């Protein structure tokens, strides 16, 4: 199969899988078997696309042209390859995890969950392989809409309110800001194609550069820059597999991926670096990193603490992009992968704790490491990656970002990374301490006090992602080579 066909098939397969999943809804084993099969096949197609890229084969497919310079187009480039690999692989792992969670927690509407999850993955791959901002925008919106039923999955008043916040902020920012930024770009350049070095050089200058950058940065609401971050903690009412999708597999990754694409392929690193009006983004991203970390320290609910951690970690990618050096851009791209594996491990652990023990708060986790050693060891590995310590992937991405900040003489950015690392340790390490060195207290559900590990599929999934977090440290070459190719190194 040619890289072009493999790319199109990878995008289409998750959407096609919706039909048999829906038909098999009354037969859970068949439904979930189809979901896993589709996920594995999609990942294999993405691998084939990657192998074609390694051989130097170019894949560029235009489905149709709406008007001159406006096409629905798919292509393969290094950054998109990183995102596609993450989304397709973690679809497999999350599906396995969801089997244990949805059954173990006796969730309703399980078929709808697997349908919407497949559509979300297909949308993420459409974002990853988009050849221009128009195509990316179309799949970005499909991703938002397809995940709305997942956020409101429980159907409670709280879930419906969270869904309104989720949809209102993400659709409001994308239509109100991102779409107008895209139109403005097209008017200036006559194209929206992602181009090495950018397309805006000599087309716009002065304060207008900063304004257009702001429209993109805040129009890409999934990147969760403050103050448009509220949708993310609100969405924590959803089941844990949905939280994993939002925080690690698709949604937030689509946000920071798009920010990085815009900086590298629409503006261009060199062009933005020559415009003083773009400098504000470092400070906004830095504020988001520190403020979200401080808020995380005050959260007793484990998922909310992880949610604010995600807001902070996403802005590592944004600040790395805003530093505007090739090496920081490499760090930004690698952090997308590092955060995906580390954060999904943490959310998998939170869900496993809830299913096995019905405990949701950090203050209730005393001694849980003795009853759930695999889960909490995996949590500790994810924690090390979020802090940025070896031997985990987070160390590599932070190292590259710090080098970029020093190279650009942006000590404010370097300071933010150092301070936030200490804050990360401040709100993560106490969880590990409580889990392994404190005694268990009676819970509100005494029938669960003698629990063990969560169901086997959940334990398998969390083990895979924890191992992946460490493996990325020892074998980072694929992701690093793609990130370096993104900036022409």
Q: Tell me: the pLDDT tens digits for 264-284?
A: 999 999 999 998 899 999 999
**Average pLDDT, integer, range 183-203:** 93
Backbone torsion region of residue 455, taken as left when φ is above 0, otherwise alpha when ψ lies between -120 and 50, otherwise beta: beta
Helix/strand/coil for 130? strand
Burial class of residue 227 (count of CB atoms within 10 Å of its CB; 0-12, 13-18, 19+): exposed
Q: What is the DSSP letter of 362?
A: G
| CA 472 remoteness from chain centre | 16
Q: What mean pLDDT do residues 66-88 have?
A: 91
For the stretch 359-384, pLDDT in tens is 889 988 888 998 899 999 999 999 99
The pLDDT, as a whole number, for residue 447 is: 58
Give the lowest-confidence range in 55-59, 190-194, 236-240, 392-396: 236-240
Q: Residue for token digits 């950090």?
A: 362
Tokens 């890289």 label which residue? Answer: 3
**Domain layout of the chain by residue ranges:** 1-265, 279-489
56: left (phi over 0), alpha (psi -120 to 50) or beta: left
- 405-457 pLDDT per residue, tens: 999 999 999 999 999 999 999 999 999 999 998 887 766 666 566 778 888 99
**Which of 265, 297, 178 is closest to 228 using CA atoms?**
178
pLDDT at residue 176 is higher than 70 = yes
């Amino acid at each position: 199969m040619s890289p072009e066909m493999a790319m199109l098939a990878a995008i289409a397969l998750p959407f096609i899988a919706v039909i048999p999943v829906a038909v098999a809804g009354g037969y859970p084993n068949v439904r979930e078997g189809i979901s896993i099969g589709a996920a594995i096949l999609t990942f294999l197609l993405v691998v084939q696309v990657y192998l074609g890229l390694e051989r130097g084969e170019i894949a560029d497919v235009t489905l149709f042209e709406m008007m001159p310079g406006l096409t629905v187009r798919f292509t393969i480039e290094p950054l998109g390859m990183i995102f596609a690999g993450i989304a397709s692989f973690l679809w497999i792992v999350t599906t396995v995890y969801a089997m244990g969670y949805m059954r173990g927690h006796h969730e309703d509407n399980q078929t709808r969950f697997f349908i919407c999850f497949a559509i979300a993955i297909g949308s993420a791959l459409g974002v990853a392989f988009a050849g221009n901002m128009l195509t990316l925008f179309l799949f970005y919106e499909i991703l938002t809409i397809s995940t709305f039923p997942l956020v409101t999955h429980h159907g409670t008043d709280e879930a419906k309110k969270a869904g309104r916040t989720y949809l209102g902020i993400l659709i409001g920012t994308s239509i109100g800001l991102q779409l107008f930024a895209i139109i403005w770009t097209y008017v200036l350049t006559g194209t929206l194609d992602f181009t090495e070095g950018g397309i805006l050089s000599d087309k716009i200058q002065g304060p207008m550069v900063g304004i257009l950058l702001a429209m993109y940065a805040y129009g890409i609401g999934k990147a969760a820059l403050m103050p448009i971050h509220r949708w993310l903690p609100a969405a924590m009412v959803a089941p844990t597999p949905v939280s994993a999708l939002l925080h690690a597999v698709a949604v937030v990754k689509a946000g920071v991926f798009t920010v990085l694409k815009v900086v590298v392929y629409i503006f261009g690193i060199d062009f933005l670096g020559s415009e003083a009006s773009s400098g504000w983004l470092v400070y906004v991203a830095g504020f988001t990193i520190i403020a979200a970390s401080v808020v995380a320290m005050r959260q007793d609910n484990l998922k909310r603490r992880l949610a604010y951690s995600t807001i902070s970690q996403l802005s590592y990618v944004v600040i790395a992009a805003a530093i505007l050096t090739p090496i920081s851009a490499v760090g930004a791209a690698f952090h997308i992968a590092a955060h995906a594996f580390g954060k999904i491990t943490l959310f998998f652990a939170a869900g496993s704790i809830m299913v096995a023990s019905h405990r949701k708060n950090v203050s209730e986790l005393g001694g849980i490491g003795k009853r759930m050693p695999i889960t909490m060891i995996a949590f500790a590995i994810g924690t090390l990656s979020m802090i940025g310590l070896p031997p985990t992937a987070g160390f590599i991405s932070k190292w590259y970002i710090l080098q970029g900040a020093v190279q650009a003489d942006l000590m404010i950015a370097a300071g933010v990374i150092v301070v936030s690392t200490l804050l990360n340790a401040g709100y993560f390490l106490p969880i590990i301490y409580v889990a392994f060195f404190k005694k268990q207290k009676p819970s509100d559900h005494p029938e669960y006090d003698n629990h063990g590990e969560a169901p086997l599929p959940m334990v398998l999934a969390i083990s895979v992602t924890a191992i992946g977090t460490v493996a990325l440290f020892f074998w980072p070459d694929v992701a690093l080579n793609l990130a370096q190719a993104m900036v022409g190194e």
